[in-house]
């Protein structure tokens, strides 16, 4: 795209004079060139033909040549300056701006809020922005296998592509259905599958290439989950060789932990709709039954042990969504939080676990492991049990990124991490929660847990209407009440002692004199005792004479 000066009079119908146009062509010949050879900027030309242009042609030509030379020296700086000026028009490579104006007019006609809502609601898999990814890039990138288009073709993930193809062949052989049936069914949902991704590259506009990727990746994911959750986790011996490098007992031990971690990465998600289509064709069962089977299969592979009993409403968006809902015990999709502000906004930070314990608060494990099951009642703070291991960082950061990017996902995981970071500020706090059975440390030292939660909470954007705000306010209110009660108790004791002193000894001069005499007698007795002991001590510690 190039820049040319506007006519200065607000009318696009006026054209440059013949002489000026000839000068423009000559200037374009020497102007800086872009990557495709088009002139980058046209500068210093007259806005309209003038009767005096013949008289000032030589001077104008020198000024324009000077300006082109300046543009060649300054490059982008001059182009940016021109782009921000009202005297310049953006034009296309043909030197006219009519196409751009028509395009914008057509887009204006198509603006519809309902269509925009429908468009944004279809997206569920996102590229993590640099502002988030730069803090810890490795946790947002798969290590062993790619699912979907974002990381497909990466050189370090290429070795798994052959195993994907083998899994596809075994799946087709077992299903006894032709590949064409699966392709036809997947083609019907190609639009929703592609729209689930944000910013898919032009190479995936080709329907055949995109569908082959969806079918291959979905078959591999199904085969891995089936092999890990059936036959004792050792795969199906009838389908795969006992020495298969991935889909065997050996593969379950050495590969599956990394594959399970890669399935929790936001940029590496696969729509569960693709798995649903494959299973529907393979089994011929109703859609609702297949939905439940897909959700349970993902939970059995990724989720905690007690997550298998969780009942979902509808098909999950992708594995990360199902796993997140299992941690929160959400049977249905997450709903938008209340738009209204909380009743009472508090800028106070909750005290650490050690400080809460010193204030009289007791800790105990929650009855469930849901991250939402944080309660405070009568001085007892109940927290869900959490296992901190090598996958904790991947698990939380990708869920927090999903909550940040997916409108309507909620902020439960982010709120939990922020809450835990506030109460875990030292190794002593981790040790306290570990002794109460709340934290199970599998990463080493207690300081490593503190460092982990500090890194998780870096640059966290917290919803002001967090679901933990009420717990936060109750805990702080209890702490303030406990401190105030302790101070009031101390003041009451001092006042009671002072009142007793006045009542018993200051009621009359005689009682007062008795108190003074007793005090003096006590002081004199103490002094006499000191003077008696000091000489004896000095005698024993002095050096003996020769």
Pull the structure tokens for residue 524: 């004199």
Assess if residue 452 is contained within a domain: yes
Same domain for 371 and 406? yes
Closest CA to 167 of 231, 245, 258, 229: 245
Measured distance CA(68)–CA(78) in Å, rounded: 10
Closest CA to 273 of 178, 189, 168, 331: 189
Same domain for 94 and 180? no
Q: Is residue 319 a contact partner of residue 263, using CB atoms and an 8 Å limit? A: yes
Q: DSSP assignment, residue 44?
A: S
Same domain for 101 and 134? no
Assess if residue 492 is contained within a domain: no
Same domain for 362 and 470? yes
Looking at residue 44, what is its pLDDT?
Answer: 42
Residue 240's domain comprises: 130-307
Collapsed DSSP state (helix, strand, coil) of residue 439 = strand
Max Cα-Cα span within the chain: 129
Partners of 441 in the β-ladder: 388
Query: Vertex 143, ends 140 and 149: CA angle to 5°?
Result: 70
Q: Any residues with CB less than 8 A from the CB of 472 and at least 6 apart, and which?
A: 346, 348, 350, 419, 466
End-of-domain residue from the set 105, 122, 146: 105
Q: SS3 breakdown of the chain: % helix, strand, coil, rounded to 5?
A: 60, 5, 35
Assess if residue 470 is contained within a domain: yes
Same domain for 139 and 261? yes
Looking at residue 330, what is its pLDDT?
Answer: 65
Assess if residue 147 is contained within a domain: yes
Measured distance CA(543)–CA(537) in Å, rounded: 12
Same domain for 197 and 296? yes
Q: Is residue 446 a contact partner of residue 434, using CB atoms and an 8 Å limit? A: yes
Measured distance CA(221)–CA(297) in Å, rounded: 11
Number of folded domains that form the chain: 4
Q: DSSP states of 380-438 as a string? A: EEEE--EEE-TTHHHHHHHHHHHHHHSTTS-SHHHHHHHHHHHH--SHHHHHHHHHTTS
Collapsed DSSP state (helix, strand, coil) of residue 541 = helix
Same domain for 93 and 191? no
- Helix/strand number for the chain, H first, E second: 22, 7
The CA distances from residue 87 to 23, 100, 176, 264, in Å, are 19, 17, 68, 51
Same domain for 180 and 259? yes
Assess if residue 430 is contained within a domain: yes
Looking at residue 520, what is its pLDDT?
Answer: 87
Measured distance CA(352)–CA(363) in Å, rounded: 12
Same domain for 135 and 201? yes
Pull the structure tokens for residue 235: 């795969």
pLDDT tens-digit profile, the chain (546 residues): 444 444 444 444 444 455 555 555 544 444 444 444 444 444 444 444 444 444 444 555 454 454 444 444 444 444 444 444 444 444 555 556 788 888 888 888 888 888 777 778 889 999 999 999 999 999 999 999 999 999 999 999 999 999 999 999 999 999 999 999 999 999 999 999 999 999 888 889 899 999 999 999 999 999 999 999 885 555 555 678 888 999 988 888 999 999 999 999 999 999 999 999 999 999 988 888 899 999 999 999 997 765 556 677 789 999 999 999 999 886 554 433 333 444 444 566 788 898 888 888 899 999 988 999 999 998 899 999 999 999 999 999 999 999 999 998 889 999 999 999 999 989 999 999 999 999 999 988 899 999 999 999 988 877 766 778 888 888 888 888 766 556 555 655 665 676 666 666 666 777 777 778 888 888 888 888 878 877 766 665 555 544
Assess if residue 123 is contained within a domain: no
Same domain for 162 and 235? yes
Q: Any residues with CB less than 8 A from the CB of 100 and at least 6 apart, and which?
A: 90, 91, 92
End-of-domain residue from the set 105, 121, 148: 105
Measured distance CA(146)–CA(317) in Å, rounded: 18
Collapsed DSSP state (helix, strand, coil) of residue 199 = coil
End-of-domain residue from the set 105, 121, 141: 105
Same domain for 438 and 513? no
Looking at residue 22, what is its pLDDT?
Answer: 52
Assess if residue 483 is contained within a domain: no
Looking at residue 482, what is its pLDDT?
Answer: 64
Pairing of strands 439-441, 375-377: unpaired
Assess if residue 119 is contained within a domain: no
Same domain for 38 and 99? yes
Q: Is residue 285 a contact partner of residue 350, using CB atoms and an 8 Å limit? A: no
Q: Taking the complete model, does pTM exceed 0.85, yes or no?
A: no
């Amino acid at each position: 795209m190039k820049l040319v000066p506007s006519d200065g009079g607000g009318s696009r119908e006026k054209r440059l004079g013949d002489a000026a146009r000839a000068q423009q062509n000559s200037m374009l010949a020497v102007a800086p060139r872009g990557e495709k050879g088009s002139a980058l900027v046209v500068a210093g030309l007259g806005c309209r033909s003038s009767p005096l242009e013949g008289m000032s042609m030589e001077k104008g030509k020198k000024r324009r040549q000077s300006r082109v030379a300046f543009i060649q020296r300054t490059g982008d700086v001059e182009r940016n300056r021109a782009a921000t000026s009202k005297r310049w028009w953006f034009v296309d490579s043909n030197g006219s701006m009519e196409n751009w104006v028509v395009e914008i007019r057509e887009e204006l006609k198509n603006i519809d809020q309902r269509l925009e809502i429908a468009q944004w609601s279809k997206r569920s898999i996102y590229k993590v922005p640099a502002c988030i990814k730069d803090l810890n890039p490795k946790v947002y990138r798969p290590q062993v296998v790619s699912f979907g288009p974002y990381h497909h073709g990466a050189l370090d993930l290429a070795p798994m592509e052959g195993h994907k193809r083998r899994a596809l062949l075994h799946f087709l052989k077992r299903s006894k259905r032709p590949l064409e049936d699966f392709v036809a069914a997947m083609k019907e949902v190609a639009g929703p599958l592609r729209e689930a991704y944000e910013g898919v590259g032009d190479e995936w506009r080709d329907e055949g290439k995109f569908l082959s990727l969806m079918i291959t990746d979905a078959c591999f994911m199904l085969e891995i989950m089936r092999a890990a959750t059936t036959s004792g986790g050792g795969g199906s011996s009838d389908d795969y060789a006992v020495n298969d490098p991935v889909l065997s007992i050996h593969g379950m031990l050495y590969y599956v932990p990394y594959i399970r971690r890669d399935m929790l990465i936001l940029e590496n998600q696969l729509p569960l709709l693709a798995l649903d289509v494959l299973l529907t064709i393979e089994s011929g069962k109703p859609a609702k039954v297949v939905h439940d089977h897909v959700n349970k299969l993902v939970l059995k592979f990724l989720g905690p042990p007690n997550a298998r009993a969780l009942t979902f409403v509808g098909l999950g968006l992708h594995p990360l969504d199902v796993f997140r809902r299992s941690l929160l015990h959400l049977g249905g999709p997450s709903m938008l939080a209340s738009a209204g502000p909380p009743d009472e906004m508090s800028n106070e930070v909750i005290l650490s676990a050690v400080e809460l314990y010193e204030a009289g608060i007791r800790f105990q494990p929650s009855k469930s492991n849901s991250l939402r099951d944080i309660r405070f009642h009568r001085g007892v703070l109940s927290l869900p049990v959490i296992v901190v291991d090598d996958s904790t960082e991947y698990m939380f950061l990708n869920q927090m990124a999903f909550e940040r990017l997916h409108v309507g996902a909620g902020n439960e995981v982010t709120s939990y991490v922020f809450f835990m970071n506030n109460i875990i500020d030292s190794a002593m706090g981790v040790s306290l929660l570990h002794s109460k059975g709340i934290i199970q440390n599998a990463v080493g030292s207690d300081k490593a847990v503190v460092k982990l939660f500090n890194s998780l909470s870096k640059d966290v954007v917290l919803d002001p209407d967090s679901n933990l705000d009420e717990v936060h306010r109750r805990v702080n209110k209890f702490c303030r009440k406990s401190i105030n009660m302790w101070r009031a108790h101390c003041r009451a004791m001092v006042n009671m002692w002072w009142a007793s002193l006045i009542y018993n000894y200051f009621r009359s001069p005689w009682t007062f004199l008795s108190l003074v005499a007793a005090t003096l007698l006590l002081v004199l007795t103490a002094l006499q005792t000191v003077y008696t002991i000091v000489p004896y001590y000095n005698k024993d510690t002095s050096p003996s004479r020769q």
